[in-house]
Structure 1
Amino acid sequence: MSASTTLPLAATGSPPPAPAAPRRRRFSATPLALLLPSLVMLVVFIGWPLVQLVMMSFQKYGREQIFGAPADFIGIDNYVRVLTDPEFWVVLGRSVGLCLVSVAATMVLGVSIALLMRALGSVMRTVVSVGLLLAWAMPALTATIVWGWIFDTDYGLVNYFLTQVTGTDWTGHSWLSDPLSFFAVAAIIITWGAIPFVAFSTYAGLTQVPDEVMEAASLDGAGGWQRFRLIVVPYVKSILIVLLILQVIWDLRVFAQIYALQTIGGVRADTNTIGVYIYSVSMATGDLGSGGAIAVILVLILLAISAAYIRTMLKSEEEL
């Protein structure tokens, strides 16, 4: 072999080959065709009703318009009426307070159950999983009725248990007539129904935490709380943030549980949340224009929260 063939290409004086031009990706209609049915469903069942809702919020829309009378355009009068109504702000504050309590309880209990499932054996983990699935599968209205029986004034299990433990007769005590205890019961029902989703999602994230890292931290003397705070939380941080945002969105617009409890025995005027308030304004008074304005304001609040959710998802994808 000659010496010239053993020299690097740069030493021979030959110019390096030009880099190949990047190939243009051909447009494929397959992804669009696969997404088209979902897009059509979103436009039909969400997009168009949302457009109608926005239009209604700028109109004087009552019972006459439901039966075909033309609706008059009144601009932002509905929004001014809603935003200057003290009751709207009371209901919104009440809804936010219930949401914060329910979300905090759901996250703490859901993450705790997920940690418990990771520590249990396969048999007990299966038992816990089945119990969570049963709670998750129960419809919200059915669950609320069952909890209403548990807190029943005369025959409820809670009053019976308190009577046996305290020695005081709790028979006849109403948990739904007082707004504070009403929302305590509501928070229990909402939290009970939301825990399975948080527990399963967190448990799925915990399976990605390497056992070697946990064992090494334990050998270095790290306690349980230190391992959770310094090792587990960084691994599942993105999952916890997404769960937190989703729970805020869902609990802020809760309707079935509150409305069912009000029907069982709650005082509607003192226990309305934003979802029930929209229904009451629209159906009870027949002012669908003001109800639409309240609904649009709630949609804007949820969109702002959803934007945080989308930003978190995109940031998680960039980190991956």
Structure 2
Amino acid sequence: MTVQIERPPSGPVGVANKHRRGSAGAGPRGASRARGLVPYLLLLPACAVTVLLLGWPLVKDVLLSFQNLNMAQLIQRVTEWNGIDNYTQVLTGADFWRVTLRSILFTAVNVVVIMVIGTLVGLLLARLGKRMRFTLMIGLVLAWAMPVVAASTVYQWLFAQRFGVVNWVLAKLGWESMADYSWTSSQMSTFFVVTLLIVWMSIPFVAINLYAATTTIPAELYEAAALDGAGGWKSFTTVTLPFLRPFLYATTFLEIIWVFKAFVQVFTINGGGPDRLTEILPVYAYIEGVGNQHYGMGAAIAVLTILIMLGLTAYYLRIVLKQEEDEL
């Protein structure tokens, strides 16, 4: 018996079959590679918009900080590069370091007050009934959603010297000397009004964020803690706080950034006054750059402000990561 071995066709049909088999083998790998590129393609428009709206202005600001740009240069349309003269003048002056220290203290006080009150309100939301919780959350959302300029204007009316509601209430309560008190005439009273405004606008974010975090805590853990004889404080420290700690870290990080760059509230209330005693770094950069028409110096202050904010946030993140490592 003769066995015939069929040889594969060597013509165009064989080449087509070989190509078909190769395509079938490469198909799954190609599809997997294409699926891996999908997330990056979806992120590409957002990254492009971010670079366009944030990256390019930042580059322009850095370039402007190395120029001597005043009104004369703008009128003549002349670009004068002066190297690091703007940075040298800013860093060797006492005003910059005084404003920097004031900005750090202002941020620290506001963030501490915001986090303490916001955490208490968030825990209160978790304990309230549905109707009271809904009512309180409506008030928080309305306070949070109010535009910053509108809220600042309302606070200007509340603390107005002649017809302000606060002075009227204080006078009715027996403090007649407060009937005509100017809240923006001194450094501390101006900072009090600004801090009250910032805290009022920031508490809703912290409270709602932490209330959402409390909903993720299993009820069985509280039951187990109660069976072990733990009271309210013990349950908070052993059950609630460990679950809330990541949310507290993230929320504090965001509040540091938001309070540090609180330009609108400070500038709207009193323009950094009286006598520039309530200027923080963003207001200081604006007044030196736009107000005094030293645009190059204002740009240098803005760049230094960004670097200081990055340093503060990096230091905070380092502390947080170190605490997490110690807990592990």
State how far apart, in whole Å, the 1-side matches of 2:167 and 2:231 are. 40
Q: Which runs of 5 or more structure 1 residues have no equivalent in the other structure? A: 1-22
Normalised by the length of structure 2, the TM-score is 0.83
Q: Name which one, 1 or 2, has greater alpha-carbon Rg.
A: 2
Q: Secondary structure at the match of 1:155?
A: coil
Q: 1:47 aligns with which of 55, 74, 81?
A: 55
Matches within 5 A, 1:211-250: 211-250=219-258
Counterpart in 1 of 2:128? 120
- Is the 1:105–1:191 Cα contact (8 Å) retained in structure 2? yes
Normalised by the length of structure 1, the TM-score is 0.85
State how far apart, in whole Å, the 1-side matches of 2:175 and 2:197 are. 27
Q: Is the alpha carbon distance of 1:134 and 1:83 closer, same or farther for their aligned partners in structure 2, counting shifts above 3 Å?
A: same
Q: Secondary structure at the match of 1:269?
A: coil
State how far apart, in whole Å, the 2-side matches of 1:57 and 1:157 are. 44
Counterpart in 1 of 2:24? none
Matches within 5 A, 1:86-165: 86-165=94-173
Q: Secondary structure at the match of 1:59?
A: coil
Q: 2:191 aligns with which of 183, 188, 208?
A: 183
State how far apart, in whole Å, the 1-side matches of 2:210 and 2:76 are. 51
Identity of aligned pairs, percent?
A: 39
Q: Is the alpha carbon distance of 1:195 and 1:77 closer, same or farther for their aligned partners in structure 2, counting shifts above 3 Å?
A: same
Q: 1:304 aligns with which of 303, 306, 311?
A: 311
Counterpart in 2 of 1:62? 70
Deviations 1:6-26 (A, max 9, x none): xxxxxxxxxxxxxxxxx8952
* More deviation, 226-235/64-73: 64-73
Q: Secondary structure at the match of 1:173?
A: coil
**1:76 corresponds to 2:84:** yes
Q: Is the alpha carbon distance of 1:194 and 1:167 closer, same or farther for their aligned partners in structure 2, counting shifts above 3 Å?
A: closer
State how far apart, in whole Å, the 2-side matches of 1:141 and 1:95 are. 21
**1:207 corresponds to 2:215:** yes
Letter in 1 for 2:236: F
State how far apart, in whole Å, the 2-side matches of 1:261 and 1:227 are. 43
Letter in 2 for 1:210: P
Deviations 1:31-55 (A, max 9, x none): 2221111111111111111111111
* More deviation, 220-229/244-253: 220-229
Q: Which runs of 5 or more structure 2 residues have no equivalent in the other structure? A: 1-28
Letter in 2 for 1:288: Y
**1:34 corresponds to 2:42:** yes
Once the two structures are TM-superposed, the CA of residue 275 in structure 1 deviates from its matched residue by 1.1
Letter in 2 for 1:66: L
- Is the 1:151–1:157 Cα contact (8 Å) retained in structure 2? yes
State how far apart, in whole Å, the 1-side matches of 2:33 and 2:316 are. 32
- Is the 1:202–1:239 Cα contact (8 Å) retained in structure 2? yes
* More deviation, 266-275/245-254: 266-275
State how far apart, in whole Å, the 2-side matches of 1:65 and 1:40 are. 33
- Is the 1:102–1:251 Cα contact (8 Å) retained in structure 2? yes
**1:166 corresponds to 2:213:** no
State how far apart, in whole Å, the 1-side matches of 2:219 and 2:76 are. 66
- Is the 2:114–2:202 Cα contact (8 Å) retained in structure 1? yes
**1:278 corresponds to 2:285:** yes
Q: How many residues align?
A: 293
Once the two structures are TM-superposed, the CA of residue 308 in structure 1 deviates from its matched residue by 6.1
**1:294 corresponds to 2:301:** yes
Once the two structures are TM-superposed, the CA of residue 112 in structure 1 deviates from its matched residue by 0.5
Measured on the aligned residues, the alpha-carbon RMSD in Å equals: 2.4
